[in-house]
């Protein structure tokens, strides 16, 4: 995967700090889809996820002169999304009751992936398993697996040590593995 | 950027993540890592949606969706200087006639060019280019000091300055080439990528510079000096409103103060213009505190005049 390099993020941070709109737009195009997916995992609501990410970018631009160039811009953005998502959950628990909607089920424009075959089944199962991981394991795993943050960046987002992040990720992998093995043996015995 | 590049399935397991885990275990955990990729649909947010969201964001921030190019924005130096726009268009004919952008003394300018490149002008600097810039050529003439962030393209981007040419395809670099420089020096400093630097009169005398290298050419030199390690901050500190000089002559330093603060400095003591000084100011209060420091170090006095200072 061609994730934007660390240097790229550093350049964006520097240029945005200096009010370069081009850099701001380029950053947005690059990270918006991933950030919406990330927010969605908390809220299970597409519109709310999009709103939150928009708000983060508005805040980023308004406070651009305070961007800390020594801090990862990526973890800064994901921290903002996480905080806002958690606040929203707290303040509107009535609206965003966690229900059984995965990214997969919510999927609107994905003609490529067939619903019924094994792949589709694995996809929805895997989603379910990830959703059922303990909260912090789930967060660390997703940030690492789907958003390409390194352990230091995740540590910053979650406000824990990199070592703890690693423990969460390894634990998440083991737990997903046992779910997968169980599932496999069930499929074979069907 | 193709969608393929955004495929979250391809993110590798960070190295060292499974350190201390039994090697057989490692293998199966790696497999689960790969497998888990199916969970995240690549096209959950389509490029169109992203584009729409960006437009909405521009509206919320009061930015224009699409800017006419080139546009420029003047960055005031410090809070006390009001920002102003200085776009001087010379000539109104459509083709071939050049237009120029100047950052007046006391201000800096940022110029967005038609090819996507961005040029930042230090106070008192000027660039000129013709109307076909970005279409049939990427040639710019510079008088003064500017930082270039050049968009990648197969069309070479050339900067003509004081008898030198700097040629690149896509990179970041800074040029210092003041018309009032006593030796007619042009200094090139590269921050990223590779550039070719040569006297305008002889393209064969080019030197190649890459990241964090610097070179100089001045009339009388057969070819530009061999590239040396560059002090990036000294050469580009002006972009962050810093005032940095490294073994520079008093006349050069005074020239820079004149441009940056839009003041006039008359040097009335003879024989000191060529003396060199080194200094670093992360934040400059005002021209007077700077001048006071310099005069103390150089053993000079100064007095205020109507539009600046007299140094004696």
The confidence score (pLDDT) of residue A190 equals: 64
- Which of B33, B41, B67 is the closest to A173 by Cβ? B33
The answer to whether the Cβ–Cβ distance between B29 and A174 falls below 8 Å is yes
- Residues B254 and B311 sit within 8 Å (Cβ to Cβ): yes
How far apart are alpha carbons B191 and B234 in whole angstroms? 12
How far apart are alpha carbons B172 and B117 in whole angstroms? 10
> What is the rounded average pLDDT for all residues in chain B?
80
B92 compared with B230, residue with greater pLDDT: B230
Does B95 have pLDDT greater than 80? no
- Which of A116-125, B215-224, B294-303 has the lowest average pLDDT? A116-125
How far apart are alpha carbons A176 and A161 in whole angstroms? 23
Return the DSSP state at B11: P
B71 compared with B276, residue with greater pLDDT: B276
CA-nearest of B132, B129, B184, B182 to B160 is B129
Residue B61 Cα, gap to closest chain A Cα (Å): 7
- Which of B8-12, B111-115, B247-251 has the lowest average pLDDT? B8-12
Q: Where residue A118 falls among pLDDT bands split at 50, 70, 90?
A: low
Q: Where residue B213 falls among pLDDT bands split at 50, 70, 90?
A: very high
> Looking at beta carbons, which pairs linking B139-145 to residues 24 or more positions away fall under 8 Å?
B141/B98, B142/B175, B142/B177, B143/B177, B143/B178, B143/B179, B144/B176, B144/B177, B144/B178, B144/B179, B144/B259, B145/B121, B145/B174, B145/B175, B145/B176, B145/B177, B145/B178, B145/B238
- Residues A75 and A154 sit within 8 Å (Cβ to Cβ): yes
Q: What is the mean pLDDT of residues B131-137?
A: 80
How far apart are alpha carbons A32 and A18 in whole angstroms? 21
- Which of A103, A169, A174 is the closest to B17 by Cβ? A169
The confidence score (pLDDT) of residue B25 equals: 82
Chain A, chain B: beta-carbon pairs less than 8 Å apart: 132
The confidence score (pLDDT) of residue B97 equals: 63
The confidence score (pLDDT) of residue B3 equals: 40
Return the DSSP state at B133: B
Residue B277 Cα, gap to closest chain A Cα (Å): 29
A160 compared with B22, residue with greater pLDDT: A160
- β-sheet bridge partners, residue B195: B209
E strand or H helix that includes residue A174: helix A162-188
The answer to whether the Cβ–Cβ distance between A126 and B54 falls below 8 Å is no
The answer to whether the Cβ–Cβ distance between B39 and A130 falls below 8 Å is yes
Does B79 have pLDDT greater than 60? no
B285 compared with A46, residue with greater pLDDT: A46
pLDDT digits (tens, 9 = 90+) for A93-117: 665 554 444 444 444 444 444 444 5
The confidence score (pLDDT) of residue A109 equals: 40
Peptide bond into B207 cis (omega under 30): no
Does B94 have pLDDT greater than 90? no
**Strand order through the sheet with B302-304:** B264-267, B308-311, B302-304
Sign for the pseudo-dihedral over CA of B132, B134, B136, B137: positive
Residue A157 Cα, gap to closest chain B Cα (Å): 17
The pairing of beta strand B264-267 with beta strand B308-311: parallel
- Which of A120-134, B54-68, B187-201 has the lowest average pLDDT? B54-68
Residue B244 Cα, gap to closest chain A Cα (Å): 19
The confidence score (pLDDT) of residue B66 equals: 36
pTM metric for this prediction: 0.48
How far apart are alpha carbons B146 and B165 in whole angstroms? 14
- Which of B6, B43, B53 is the closest to A109 by Cβ? B43
Does B219 have pLDDT greater than 80? yes
How far apart are alpha carbons B89 and B72 in whole angstroms? 12
Q: What is the mean pLDDT of residues B73-99?
A: 42
- Residues B114 and B70 sit within 8 Å (Cβ to Cβ): yes
B234 compared with B63, residue with greater pLDDT: B234
- Which of A36-50, A156-170, B89-103 has the lowest average pLDDT? B89-103
Residues of A in contact with B73 (CB under 8 A): 19
Residue A34 Cα, gap to closest chain B Cα (Å): 8
- Which of A18, A19, A37 is the closest to B40 by Cβ? A37
A124 compared with A164, residue with greater pLDDT: A164
How far apart are alpha carbons B90 and A52 in whole angstroms? 46
Q: Mutate which of A11, A32, A115, A171 to disrupt the B interface (most B C-beta within 10 Å)?
A: A32
How far apart are alpha carbons B250 and B182 in whole angstroms? 11
The confidence score (pLDDT) of residue A138 equals: 92
How far apart are alpha carbons B19 and B136 in whole angstroms? 55
CA B225 to chain centre: 22
Does A91 have pLDDT greater than 70? yes
Helix ranges (H only) for B8-75 are 23-36, 47-60
Does B57 have pLDDT greater than 60? yes
The answer to whether the Cβ–Cβ distance between B45 and A107 falls below 8 Å is no
Does B98 have pLDDT greater than 80? no
Does B287 have pLDDT greater than 60? yes
How far apart are alpha carbons B109 and B123 in whole angstroms? 8
């Amino acid at each position: 995967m061609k994730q934007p390099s660390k240097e790229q993020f550093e350049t964006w941070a520097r240029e945005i700090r200096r009010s370069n709109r081009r850099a701001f737009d380029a950053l947005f195009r690059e990270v918006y889809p991933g950030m919406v997916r990330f927010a969605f995992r908390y809220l299970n609501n597409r519109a709310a996820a999009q709103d939150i990410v928009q708000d983060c970018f508005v805040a980023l631009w308004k406070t651009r002169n305070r961007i800390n160039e020594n801090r990862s811009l990526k973890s800064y953005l994901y921290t903002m999304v996480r905080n806002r998502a958690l606040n929203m959950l707290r303040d509107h628990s009535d609206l965003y009751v966690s229900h059984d909607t995965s990214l997969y089920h919510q999927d609107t424009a994905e003609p490529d992936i067939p619903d019924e075959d094994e792949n589709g089944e694995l996809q929805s199962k895997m989603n379910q398993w990830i959703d059922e991981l303990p909260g912090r394991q789930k967060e660390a795993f997703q940030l690492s697996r789907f958003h390409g943050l390194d352990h230091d960046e995740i540590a910053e987002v979650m406000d824990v040590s990199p070592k703890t992040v690693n423990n969460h990720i390894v634990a998440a992998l083991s737990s997903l593995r046992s779910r997968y093995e169980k599932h496999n043996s069930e499929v074979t015995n069907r | 950027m193709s969608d393929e590049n955004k495929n979250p399935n391809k993110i590798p397991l960070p190295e060292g993540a499974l350190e201390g885990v039994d090697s057989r275990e490692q293998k199966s955990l790696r497999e689960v890592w790969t497998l888990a990729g199916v969970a995240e649909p690549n096209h959950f947010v389509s490029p169109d949606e992203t584009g729409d969201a960006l437009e909405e964001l521009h509206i919320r921030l009061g930015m224009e969706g699409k800017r006419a190019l080139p546009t420029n924005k003047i960055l005031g130096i410090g809070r006390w200087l009001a920002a102003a726009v200085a776009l001087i268009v010379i000539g109104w004919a459509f083709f071939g006639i050049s237009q120029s952008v100047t950052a007046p003394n006391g201000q800096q300018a940022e110029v967005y060019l038609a090819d996507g490149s961005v040029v930042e002008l230090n106070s008192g600097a000027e660039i000129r280019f013709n109307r076909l810039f970005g279409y049939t050529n990427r040639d710019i003439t510079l008088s003064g000091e500017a930082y270039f962030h050049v968009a990648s393209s197969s069309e070479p981007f050339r900067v003509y300055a004081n008898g030198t040419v700097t040629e690149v395809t896509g990179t970041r670099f800074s040029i210092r080439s003041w018309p009032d420089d006593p030796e007619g020096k042009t200094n090139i400093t590269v921050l990223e990528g590779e550039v070719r630097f040569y006297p305008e009169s002889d393209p064969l005398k080019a030197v190649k510079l890459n990241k964090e290298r610097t070179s100089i050419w001045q009339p009388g030199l057969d070819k530009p000096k061999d590239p040396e390690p560059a002090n990036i901050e000294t050469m580009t500190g002006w972009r962050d409103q810093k005032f940095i000089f490294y073994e520079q002559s008093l006349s050069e330093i005074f020239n820079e103060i004149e441009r940056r603060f839009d003041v006039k400095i008359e040097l009335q003591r003879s024989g000191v213009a060529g003396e060199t000084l080194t200094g670093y100011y992360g934040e400059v209060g005002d021209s007077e505190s700077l001048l006071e420091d310099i005069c103390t170090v150089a053993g000079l006095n100064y007095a205020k005049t109507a539009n600046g200072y007299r140094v004696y």
